């Protein structure tokens, strides 16, 4: 890969990345693990889902807060900052969390209103996640346009299902618009070795049949007017789809364990995306926690890139070993992760099983414990209009869900 080198600024220093990488991957490659801090206890947070679906890597880019570093492509020349500068006081709220548990102010302060007012001022300062946009950055966004458009078939998601559906609908003679929030079409194909070629073929088939592909376009919501609101870089589009195909794919599930939010702990598809799409190794020594075949496949892929990988499989030995792909990857079956260790990023994990607890040193953890559908747009319409469901909701007419059996 003859990639172009791109420089950007991160908190006073210059960081180099490669064209096509995300800001998050470029920072990871430069050794930056902590990108944000948690809301109240200011725990360190970093790349976690690597899919634009969690707030842990939100950074400030060119004066705008809340930008997900993991999926924002590097342009070169941007100014990237943590929206909350780290401070020596950061560890304090977490250390004293035993005395100020979640919701403490509801129960511990009602008899002392004056104390609440003091506390409120302090909490307001601690709790803020970001800062207002810089005035110039905000002003530059004010001329965003608004457009209304009718399309016969709208496909949300340009992964393999969406592109295939678009090609089929276009060949059948419909006008088709495919929306993709990523700057590249292909979805998870792009995170699989050789997948980019397959994605290219699918794009050619869809656009060759007449489908229009819109990149960097996020379907924000499906409103009761029947309109699909789409945010693009140049403004808002209200689409009125004749038929709507939801091919939005899935999210990976997380796994709760002690200090499971330490930077370095990430979801396996995210780790795979970093490696395959961005050419950045998620770690030098990775433990994959799984109970699914795809966890073993991800482990094999990471191992193939020269990373020291081991698998902790929560299932019994026979099931775990049946799914193992790469003989060079050790599999610890019938065990699971109990805790992550490390102050600012993960340095080791505790694994528990029938024979007790052991400690595995590592600098990254990949969680592969299943997926759930990315079905918010559908749920918005199914469950809208009432807080009390007396009958099971019916799908609105003209809606298809890709991948559904």
- Site of interaction with other proteins (CB under 8 A): 39, 64-66, 105-107, 109-111, 113, 116-117, 120, 123-125, 127-135, 137-139, 141-142, 146, 221, 223-225, 227, 229, 236, 238, 384-388
CB of 284 or CB of 383, closer to other proteins: 383
Residue 361, CA distances (Å) to 270, 311, 334, 347, 376 in order = 21, 13, 19, 6, 38
Tokens 């050790």: give the residue.
330
Nearest-angstrom CA–CA distance, 352 and 339:
9
CB of 3 or CB of 139, closer to other proteins: 139
CB of 44 or CB of 159, closer to other proteins: 44
CB of 110 to other proteins, least distance (A): 4
Going by the DSSP 8-state scheme, the letter that residue 216 receives in this structure is: S
Residue 73, CA distances (Å) to 61, 153, 202, 377 in order = 11, 28, 22, 25
CB of 113 or CB of 306, closer to other proteins: 113
CB of 64 or CB of 360, closer to other proteins: 64
Residue 299, Cβ density class (10 Å: 0-12 exposed, 13-18 middle, ≥19 buried) = buried
CB of 150 to other proteins, least distance (A): 15
CB of 117 to other proteins, least distance (A): 7
CB of 297 or CB of 377, closer to other proteins: 377
Q: Which of 20, 18, 38 is nearest to 30 (CA)?
A: 18
Residue 98, Cβ density class (10 Å: 0-12 exposed, 13-18 middle, ≥19 buried) = exposed
CB of 142 to other proteins, least distance (A): 6
Give me Rg for the CA atoms of the chain.
Answer: 23
Q: Which residues of 73-94 are buried (b: 16+ CB within 10 A; e: fewer)?
A: bbeeebebbbbbeeeeebeebe
CB of 124 to other proteins, least distance (A): 5
- Hey, which residues does 366 pair with through a beta bridge? 266, 288
CB of 324 to other proteins, least distance (A): 40
Nearest-angstrom CA–CA distance, 154 and 63:
33
- Hey, which residues does 229 pair with through a beta bridge? 221, 238
Nearest-angstrom CA–CA distance, 282 and 325:
20
| Chain centroid, CA 365 distance in Å | 16
CB of 3 to other proteins, least distance (A): 30
CB of 105 to other proteins, least distance (A): 6
Structure tokens at 11: 């908190």
CB of 108 to other proteins, least distance (A): 8
- Hey, which residues does 252 pair with through a beta bridge? 371
Nearest-angstrom CA–CA distance, 137 and 64:
7
CB of 259 to other proteins, least distance (A): 23
CB of 92 or CB of 128, closer to other proteins: 128
């Amino acid at each position: 890969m003859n990639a172009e080198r791109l420089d950007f600024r991160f908190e006073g220093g210059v960081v180099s990345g490669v064209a096509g990488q995300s800001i998050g991957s470029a920072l990871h490659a430069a050794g930056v693990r902590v990108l944000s801090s948690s809301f109240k206890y200011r725990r360190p947070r970093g790349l976690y889902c690597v899919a634009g679906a969690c707030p842990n890597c939100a950074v400030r880019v060119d004066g705008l807060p809340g930008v997900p570093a993991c999926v924002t492509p590097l342009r070169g020349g941007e100014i990237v900052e943590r929206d909350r500068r780290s401070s020596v006081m950061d560890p304090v709220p977490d250390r004293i969390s035993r005395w100020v548990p979640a919701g403490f102010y509801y129960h511990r302060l009602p008899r002392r209103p004056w104390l609440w007012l003091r506390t409120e001022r302090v909490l307001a300062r601690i709790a803020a996640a970001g800062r207002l946009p810089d005035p110039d950055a905000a002003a530059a966004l004010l001329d965003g346009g608004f457009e209304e458009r009718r399309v016969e078939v709208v496909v949300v998601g340009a992964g393999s299902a969406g592109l295939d559906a678009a090609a089929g609908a276009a060949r059948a003679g419909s006008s088709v618009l495919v929306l993709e929030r990523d700057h590249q079409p292909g979805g998870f194909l792009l995170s699989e070795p050789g997948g980019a070629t397959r994605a290219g073929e699918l794009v050619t088939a869809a656009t060759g049949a007449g489908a229009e592909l819109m990149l960097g376009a996020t379907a924000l919501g499906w409103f009761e007017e029947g309109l699909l609101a789409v945010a693009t870089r140049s403004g808002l589009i209200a689409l009125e789809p004749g038929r709507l195909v939801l091919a939005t794919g899935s999210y990976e599930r997380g796994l709760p364990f002690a200090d499971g939010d330490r930077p370095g702990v990430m979801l396996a598809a995210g780790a795979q995306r970093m490696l395959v799409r961005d050419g950045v190794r998620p770690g030098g020594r990775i433990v994959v926690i799984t109970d699914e075949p795809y966890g073993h496949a991800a482990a094999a892929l990471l191992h193939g890139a020269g990373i020291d990988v081991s698998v902790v499989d929560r299932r019994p030995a026979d099931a775990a070993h049946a799914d193992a792909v790469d003989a060079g990857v050790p599999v610890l079956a019938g065990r699971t992760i109990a805790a992550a260790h490390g102050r600012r990023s993960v340095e080791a994990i505790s694994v528990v099983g029938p024979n007790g607890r052991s400690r595995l040193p590592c600098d990254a953890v990949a969680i592969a414990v299943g997926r759930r559908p990315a079905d918010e747009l559908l749920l918005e319409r199914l469950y809208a209009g009432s807080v009390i469901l007396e009958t099971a909701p019916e799908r609105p007419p003209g809606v298809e869900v890709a991948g559904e059996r």
